[in-house]
Structure 1
Amino acid sequence: MTKPTFPSLTLTQRAALLDVPDTGRVPVVIDSDTFNEIDDQYAIAWAMLNHERIDLQAVYAAPFTNSMFNDTHEAVKEAKVGMDLSYDEIFRVIDKVHVASKPAVFRGATAYLKDLATPERTPAVDDLIERAKNCEGTLQVIAIGAPTNIASALMIEPSLVEKIHVLWLGGHAFDWENTYEYNMLQDIAASRVLLDSGVALTLFPCMGVTNTLATSVPELEHYLLNTSEIGHYLGSESSKCPWIGFGNRKVVWDIAPVGYVLDASWYTSHIVPSPVLNDNFTWSFDHSRHPIRVIKYIERDHLFVDMFKKLIKG
């Protein structure tokens, strides 16, 4: 296919798409590399347990590769393997959350985006396109992995720019020494689609912002072990992360976009021109580019208090 041409939003249109309603039930989908680390599971479960606020309609399995697993699992060397593992893990999580309505689950990309002319059509991409088209308002797309599925959907159906708001955990803060961040570096081409397409985007930088969402294995075990089925599962799995050593913190990064949908007053943000992702993983800035929202600070305790309360009840 040829390189897509994306609609150009007016400032009024963009502001409306970026504005998560203060009240009511909000339509949401989550795109997640769920098996990669334990924090995606927290995000999905917490969203499901806030069903009075979040209408979690679907969860998409995102691709990932990871060489840092310990004895519990061998290294994931192919994006498709990571996606398949995430697909299975999503079901393990939602089966342990006891709510009346559960989200649909769809397989995503089997490879990272090669270039801007070859998106991969997958069940996740097809569902995102149809769900956004049929959504009465703005579909909130929470992206907590490599944004391959979302970028592919935008490239196949550029009119999605007029229907969705992407809340993406990716990159580092603009004043960090680089933006060499896991979700971004997994799929550089897809990351650039989010930044360059003009889609309504709220960016949650990792180092410098969401790294404040720190806890510890003892805290997670204290609050969650021997509680609900999902609470116990998350509390027991958290200690298996191979890079958490004695005295180390555990950052639950991926709850950040879920918390924003729940209550944006927990966050400080600003509107700035969308940055340019350079080949050397640094940011450049062009003030003529379209605006996005960037999170600058998070009131960490508001998120953890609500999340622990919900997970304990399950």
Structure 2
Amino acid sequence: MRSLILDTDIGSDVDDAMALAQLLGSPELDLAEVHTVYGDTRLRAQLARRYGVLAGRELTVVPGLVDPLSGREVWWAGHEGTLHDGLDAETISADSAPERLVELLRARPGELDVAAIGPLTNIAAALALEPQAAWWIRHLWVMGGSFGDDVCEHNFKSDDVAAQVVLSAGIPTTITGLEITRQVTIEKARLERIRGAGRLGAALGADIEQWWAFWNETWNVPHDPVAVLTLSRPELFTFSKLGQVSIQVGGEQAGHSTFAPAADGTVRIVTAVEAEEVAEEITRRIVVAGTAYAVGRGEIDGDRA
């Protein structure tokens, strides 16, 4: 079983919450901790903790850095956490995520994977505190960038400085970019399956619909769940050879990412995806996370789960 730290900007795009629920429905993974980044990280931490409660899990959640190293203004949708009453009651750590990450990695060098599905600010700050931490991460799984086009993806653009630091640090890394994630969609039929998965499913279903309404759409792209699934189901993806990723720092193209194969590279990118199978696997794992606890509590008939 692999142990994993999730670093997330949960609460804006619903895909972070979907990725967390997906991990909670992945028995081959041990979710050691959740760290939050970018903007109101305390609120994000309380929301992540709430999702754990809905799945019957006592998650350790640590808020991280509020401001990007780039100095760029934080994008805030305005609906973060609004469908979840009483979030202030959720217990979160008093630690700071970069310090906590260094502490965990120092205690378990080479044993912990990190899935970073928001701006890379916390990871870069941890490397500034302890450069040796780059060698302690077993593997870094990133949702970010867009390769082979002119698109500047949100996570890398939001903190281009942090992205450049982290992706040049020599950490074994897999990156899933927009050109891959945009091939996968979650639509109404899968939403209904998620919504029926106990209290977790009902809450996540409401958050998904809120996100759809925000964009006036009836579907969404599960960017972060796709990236996280590369860890659990690599056979559903095709990967490049190892190489190096360059990040444009500053200017109109801030955060733009390019990949080049290199004999001494430590980064690979996803180059192809089995889109329909990935959408199904994401949905299945979310349903597993919601129904297991609900069946145990008698909220759902196990024969119907």
Provide the TM-score with structure 2 as the length reference.
0.78
Residue of structure 2 equivalent to 1:211? 182
Which deviates the most, 130-139 or 36-45? Answer: 130-139
Matching of residue 167 in structure 1 with residue 138 in structure 2: no
Which residue of structure 2 aligns with residue 87 of structure 1? 45
Supply the AA of the counterpart residue of 1:264.
P
Residues 1:293 and 2:268 are matched in the alignment: yes
**Partners in 1 of 2:215 and 2:13 — Cα distance?**
12
| Residue pair 1:220, 1:235 contacting (<8 A) in 2 also | no
Residue 194 of structure 1 corresponds to which residue in structure 2?
166
User: Superposed, which structure 2 residues align to 1:258-277 within 5 Å?
Assistant: 258-277=228-247
Going from structure 1 to structure 2, the CA distance change for 1:92 and 1:185 (only over 3 Å counts) comes to same
Which range is displaced more, 90-99 or 147-156?
90-99
User: How far apart are residue 283 of structure 1 and its match?
Assistant: 4.1
**Following the alignment from structure 2 to structure 1, what is the Cα–Cα distance between the partners of residues 16 and 34?**
11
* 2:52 counterpart letter in structure 1: I
Q: Which runs of 5 or more residues in structure 1 are unaligned?
A: 1-24, 64-78, 116-121
| 2:21 partner SS | helix
2-side partners of 1:265 and 1:108: how far apart?
33
8 Å Cα contact 1:151/1:190 also seen in 2: yes
Please report the TM-score for the alignment, with normalisation by the length of structure 1: 0.76
- Higher mean alpha-carbon deviation, 294-303 vs 25-34, is at 294-303
- Picking from 26, 34, 37, the partner of 1:62 is 37
3-state secondary structure, aligned to 2:155:
helix
Number of aligned positions between the proteins: 259
C-alpha separation between the residues in 1 aligned to 2:223 and 2:190? Answer: 14
Quickly say closer, same or farther: Cα 1:287–1:236, change in 2 above 3 A: closer
Matched, 1:146 2:119: yes
Partner of 1:106: 62
For residues 204 and 191 of structure 1, the distance between their equivalents in structure 2, rounded to whole angstroms, comes to: 14
Structure 1: distance between partners of 2:191 and 2:69: 38
- Per the TM alignment, residue 170 of structure 1 is displaced from its structure 2 partner at its CA by 0.7
Mapping 1:8-157, distance limit 5 Å: 25-50=1-26, 52-63=27-38, 79=39, 81=40, 83-99=41-57, 102-113=58-69, 123-135=96-108, 137-157=110-130
- Residue 181 (structure 1) aligned with residue 153 (structure 2): yes
Distance 2:15 2:52 in 1: 14
Q: In the aligned structure 2, how far is the partner of 1:114 from the partner of 1:294?
A: 24
Deviation at 1:233, TM superposition (A): 1.2
What's 1:5 paired with? Answer: none
| Residues 200 and 182 of structure 1, relative CA distance in 2, 3 Å threshold | same
- Counterparts in 2 of 1:211 and 1:249: CA distance versus 1, 3 Å: same
- The 1:277–1:249 alpha-carbon spacing in structure 2 relative to 1, beyond 3 Å, is same
Contact 2:70–2:158 under 8 Å retained in 1: no
Q: Does the C-alpha gap of structure 1 residues 293 and 244 become closer, same or farther in structure 2, counting only changes over 3 Å?
A: same
- Aligned partner of 2:116: which letter? A
Structure 2 gaps, min length 5: 72-94, 291-305
